[in-house]
Amino acid sequence: MILDCILSRMVHRDKSGNKISKVDINEILTKSVSNLSINQKLNFGFGIIVGISFLIIGRNFISSVLATRNIHQTQELRIPATLTSSQAQEELLKMSSHVRGYLVTGESRFRDDFYQSRQEFENELFQLAKLLQQDTSPNTYDDLQQLRTVYQEWIILPEQLFALRDDVIGNQPALKKFSEDGEELILSLQSQTTALIKLQSHRSPSAMNVTLLKEMADFQTSLALLVSSLRAYLLTQDVAFQFEYADHVLDNQATWEILINSQANLSESQWEIIKNIEQQHSAFMALPDQLFEIVESDRYRSDLLLFRTQSEPLVTQMLSLLDEMVTYQHDLLAAELAKGRNELAIAQWHMILGGFGVLGIAMVMTALLRRKISAPIGRLTFAASRIIDGNFDAKAIVESGDEILESGDEIGLLARTFNRMTQTLRQSHQDLEAYNQNLQQHSQELEQKNYQLGHTLEELKDTQLQLIQTEKMSSLGQMVAGVAHELNNPVCFIEGNLVPVESYANNLIELIQLYQKHYPEADQEILNKINEIDVEFLIKDLPKILISMQIGTERISQIVLSLRNFSRLDEAEMKLADINEGIDNTVMILRNRLKEQPYRPEIEIIRDYRSDDLVECYPGQLNQVFMNILNNAIDAIDELFPEEKEFPVEFYDWQPNILIRTEQASQFFIVTIIDNGPGIPESVQCRLFDPFFTTKPVGKGTGLGLSISHQIVVEKHGGELSCHSRIDEGTTFEIRIPLIHGESTLPSRNQESYKPTKILHLIH
């Protein structure tokens, strides 16, 4: 069609149809191309390119078919054989891994995965044998036969390993020996110890008999604990259970020494039981060393030993054979592919040369189309840019040479369509501005509602945290108060009976002294008994024992009182309270953490109470604040002394301490708690009071302690809670509680209206 159009314009004819003249062919072609539509120009140009491309592609296709035929023939054998060998290696490794996984964990999924991998491996071997039938190389066939032989030798081992793993006792020599040699001794020791305790419980309730009964019970308990730790270590091999066993052995040996040395205070039947226990105890205590030797040797697990000595070498041999087969097939594949690549390279050179030819034609066509099409489109683009700048009155004028394109030309149609679009766009822009105003108004209303919703959500979170804290403290207070009440009753019984016991003991001592005075020459039997029980020592030691018991009951009473004061359930309203007393109660409860530990010295509490005024507050909640801050201080000091190590030599002359200072300044009651621990990094200080933020390991802290303390001090009391710390210089927490009433209305310790409870002092 295009060619006919061009040829028809090469000759001009008059109205009668006679040829009148010939024009230059170049001029006719140029004019004819200019008058073509865009669609005709594109079809003409790309038709030439497609025609030349087909010629080049046809030539290259013939060359590439010849080159790739050889490659395809090679790939039908070499690549599948290589891939199959590699996949067989992978499945073999999976089988070995699944066997190991089942031996280590005992999970059935590893056993199921093993059978699945086994089926896949055998399928790969079958496919590999089928492929290698086309290969005439004897080496490959020999490797495959050897692989099958080794596999048949190895495949029986996993079932043996699974059976051993399922037999817990038979698979672990140490556990088996413990079951055979130790269980009977343990049962006998427990039964004889129970009989010994039963005999002792029927004896008269003297101080010595009660002490012996306690030691017998401690011996039975420590024996049960060391047996439990030993059994747990044999099952799990956890070193923690071994250390726990060692601790229980020391406790058991110490209790046993006391029982052995108490022959004079035991009956004959009890002593016979003690001698039987001694024989069986010695026999049992010789057993753990043998068990530890088995656990720490290669004989610990029979299945792992069989896997390491027989299964793994066979797997390694099979992997080596498969690797040789993969390498051999890969080398053949590389050689045959190299030959195909050389043939393909020749075809590629033909394609490159033809491509340059097509590229040259394309560049000519591009320049031609750019001049005939891009210029009109550029003018159309200029009009569009004016509209983008906001000039919606701009119109598109598209020309070709000096004449405006007629309506049949695509660009002319595009120009008129563009102008109509401009008018529509102008109207749409006006409508859009109106819509934008409405949208802005709705957006402002939505932002206001979102702000109110966010504020309500924050208040809900705070309320939820307060409810959780209130419920937790209420439950804790009820529990501690109940425990304190239950402890106080038996302590009162003991404390009330100590006075008559002391009086009875003094009367008996006086009676013995009178007998010694008036009857110095007593019967030999009485003299023997006096020497046996060491009357002089009893007369001196009995008052000391009674004094120690009295001190102990007083100590228990102090602790019970501290628990009751600490667990106050009066958070519902503020009340006048002695903050110093609350601090003392908190320190009393933390006494066990403050005392000397194997890995660090005792933490000294330094009190500096400069004000004894009563403060209107929630005392139970403030006690929680003191507890949180003091706990953090103790944790910080403990970080300097790892628990798994002995007390460091470099800290022998260093005394950890916590200073607690109370004072009144202006309208605040100030509590300052200072420790000489490692300090807090600056990067952490800014987040100390954030909820759920903690630097402690997982499981040792929730990150709520300081957050709740900040809420109690700031929100509940309207006070201030601040922290100041530097690395290696310790940490200071300052609590400022406002004095709600004037100083004149606050009673002090010296006023009659104040009746304080007993103040507890920590005895270091």
- Comparing CA positions, the residue from 572, 541, 383, 412 lying closest to residue 477 is 572
Instruction: Quote the CA–CA distance of 457 and 114 in Å, as a whole number.
Output: 54
Position 190 scores a pLDDT of: 84
Instruction: Quote the CA–CA distance of 664 and 613 in Å, as a whole number.
Output: 8
Residue bearing tokens 């600490």? 566
- Comparing CA positions, the residue from 85, 81, 91, 125 lying closest to residue 315 is 91
Count of Cβ atoms closer than 10 Å to residue 282 Cβ: 9
Position 503 scores a pLDDT of: 81
Angle, vertex CA 356, rays to CA 355 and CA 357, nearest 5: 90
Position 463 scores a pLDDT of: 62
Instruction: Quote the CA–CA distance of 426 and 438 in Å, as a whole number.
Output: 19
Instruction: Quote the CA–CA distance of 478 and 471 in Å, as a whole number.
Output: 11
450, two tokens: 């979102």
Q: Note whether 45 and 367 are within 8 A (CB).
A: no
* Cα-based distances in Å from 616 to 342, 611, 612, 708: 97, 14, 13, 20
Instruction: Quote the CA–CA distance of 137 and 331 in Å, as a whole number.
Output: 13
Q: Looking at 519-618, list the stretches that DSSP marks H as alpha helix, in order from N- to C-terminal side.
A: 524-533, 535-566, 579-589, 591-594
Position 728 scores a pLDDT of: 87
Residues 6+ apart with CB under 8 A from 763: none
Instruction: Quote the CA–CA distance of 62 and 375 in Å, as a whole number.
Output: 43
Angle, vertex CA 250, rays to CA 246 and CA 255, nearest 5: 145
Instruction: Quote the CA–CA distance of 684 and 243 in Å, as a whole number.
Output: 36
Instruction: Quote the CA–CA distance of 649 and 79 in Å, as a whole number.
Output: 68
Side chain identity at residue 307, one-letter code: F
Burial of 703 (0-12, 13-18, 19+ CB in 10 A): middle
Burial of 487 (0-12, 13-18, 19+ CB in 10 A): middle
Angle, vertex CA 321, rays to CA 315 and CA 325, nearest 5: 140
Residue bearing tokens 């996949």? 87
Instruction: Quote the CA–CA distance of 588 and 559 in Å, as a whole number.
Output: 7
Q: Note whether 762 and 588 are within 8 A (CB).
A: yes
Instruction: Quote the CA–CA distance of 632 and 593 in Å, as a whole number.
Output: 12
Position 749 scores a pLDDT of: 43
Position 583 scores a pLDDT of: 93
Sheet harboring 604-609: ordered strands across?
A: 604-609, 657-665, 668-675, 731-738, 720-725
Instruction: Quote the CA–CA distance of 563 and 559 in Å, as a whole number.
Output: 6
Position 644 scores a pLDDT of: 54
Position 403 scores a pLDDT of: 41
Q: Note whether 10 and 25 are within 8 A (CB).
A: yes
Query: How does DSSP classify residue 263?
Result: G
722, two tokens: 């601040």
Q: Note whether 64 and 347 are within 8 A (CB).
A: yes
* Cα-based distances in Å from 177 to 172, 187, 295, 526: 9, 16, 11, 54
627, two tokens: 């507890």
Instruction: Quote the CA–CA distance of 475 and 567 in Å, as a whole number.
Output: 10
Query: How does DSSP classify residue 597?
Result: B
Give backbone dihedrals phi and psi of 464, rounded to 5 degrees, phi first: -65, -45
Residues 6+ apart with CB under 8 A from 545: 207
Handedness of CA 216, 219, 224, 225 (dihedral sign): positive
| Max CA separation in the chain (angstroms) | 180
Q: Note whether 711 and 466 are within 8 A (CB).
A: yes
Q: Note whether 626 and 736 are within 8 A (CB).
A: no
221, two tokens: 């308990």
Instruction: Quote the CA–CA distance of 596 and 604 in Å, as a whole number.
Output: 10
Query: How does DSSP classify residue 238?
Result: -
Residue bearing tokens 């002092």? 761
Residues 6+ apart with CB under 8 A from 304: 103
Per-10-residue mean pLDDT for the chain, 764 residues long?
48 47 59 63 73 75 69 68 79 81 77 84 81 70 81 82 67 69 81 85 82 85 84 74 83 86 83 86 80 65 69 82 76 71 73 76 72 68 74 62 46 71 76 81 82 78 63 61 66 73 81 80 79 81 79 72 57 81 89 85 93 89 90 88 62 83 92 93 84 70 78 90 91 92 42 36 30
Position 760 scores a pLDDT of: 31
Side chain identity at residue 267, one-letter code: S
Position 313 scores a pLDDT of: 85
- Three-class SS of residue 36? coil
Beta bridge partners of 664: 669
Q: Note whether 71 and 336 are within 8 A (CB).
A: yes
Position 498 scores a pLDDT of: 74
Do the strands 615-617 and 575-577 form a parallel or antiparallel pair, or are they unpaired? antiparallel
